[in-house]
Structure 1
Amino acid sequence: MSNFDKNRTGTGTKEWSEHSYNIQKGCKNNCLYCYARANALRFKLIASTDEWKNEVIRENAVKKTWGKKDGVIMFPTTHDITLNNIKHVIETLTRMLIAGNHVLIVSKPCLSCIEQICTELSDFRSQIMFRFTIGSLNRADCLFWEPNAPEPRERLLALIFAYEHGYKTSVSMEPILGDYDEALRTFYAVEQYVTDTVWIGKMNKVRRRVDLTIPGALDWVAQIECTQDDWNILMLVDRLEVEPKVRWKDSVKQVIEKCRK
């Protein structure tokens, strides 16, 4: 078992890594279900959800001097890697990697950004794993829930690029954005370009995190709640639990534990 795929006992980010790191406030993707955006609004770090898409680099975070950490560093966790911050991201990654750290790079990937990372950090290939979020291949699903993120086709191309350039690759299907059939279609499309694992999870705390005043939001939320009820999740588990690359996020594990007693 690789350092990246250890059986960890935590939940959320702790399922994937021992450490988390970020270099900015805000994220241009402005995903409707984002936990970081919801927390920023709750603690009055932003005045509105729309303000979250204004990205502010924390220069001191970029310039941090790194030592060797035990375990894996997940970067980033509360924002994405974009054309606006790619220079800062590469500087941060370089500092982490020179110190000997293993880094899980998490993104709804912009192809150009991933090309730059793969090219400029190729000497550190053995210390890197990419984990790309692809919750659906349906453009309409992604456009509503992740309005400013790259379209699913671009994310798939980024996955293929990293895979073909010899990097360790993984996919997060958390949250699942479509129904049972769309989840299967997405899994089988990405699985062939994954060297390690595909993580599958539900959309968490939907009505608490999503701005229900957005036109159409109530209908989309109702649809998500229906397609991710226990019956549908168990149907997906029954179909995919034989797949060696599949890992269940804590939200799915809870359904399994509750319904299979």
Structure 2
Amino acid sequence: MNTARHRSALLALAGTALAVSLTACQSGSGTESSAAASPAATVASSSTGAAATAAQGTDTPGAAGSANAASSTGAKGSAGSTGSAGGSGEQAAASTPVCTARDVRVTAARQDGPPYTHIVLTAKNTTGHSCRLTGFPHVQFLESHKEDVPAVAKSKPAAPVVLAAGAPAYALVKLSDGGVDEDNEPVSAFSVMLEGDSTVIAVTAPGSEGIAVDPAKALTGYWTPELRNGADDF
């Protein structure tokens, strides 16, 4: 009888221990599940924050940097277009036909006052279309001096001289140094040729008595759209 009670007590004690063990296992499993779920929740939270930040657009440093980069690229593109425009202008000038003696009327006028050491040649486009005036006037003052007047390199313009219909170009020509002891000769008319054209243009010298020319001192400038101080002083 005592043996039976003792076995019952042992069974009861074993059952209690088993119940406690099962409860502990379930508690530990729940803890591990919670711990495993925690990183996932953190990742989800970070993703949500990133999405919210991206939705804010240019408020983020990254977006601002992209906007600045785009702005910088656009500015460079605009600057580049200026160079393209300059290139197009030069191509347009190059495609314009060269002025010939039939396209222009050349006249001469005195510059400044006595002793009248310079004259200004004017070549006016008399056609109804544009033409390009190249180089310098090839001037010969005297029949006894069959050489072109030398050109002054510093007067050469940087850009091609394109004359619209009715527009003029100018060239400054030096006659002498203005000294009384110079070997000057009177000239009432002289010849001019345009670069690339062998046609001789007869030009009447300005003044009722013509001009006094020293062939050894004579110089000419290049054709320019206007007379420029400095480049045309010689």
* Superposed pair shares fold, TM > 0.5: no
Which of 1 and 2 has greater Rg?
Answer: 2
With the length of structure 2 as denominator, give the TM-score of the two structures: 0.20
Does 1 or 2 have the higher relative contact order (CA < 8 Å, sep 6+)?
Answer: 2
More strand by share: 2
- Structure having the larger proportion of residues in helix: 1
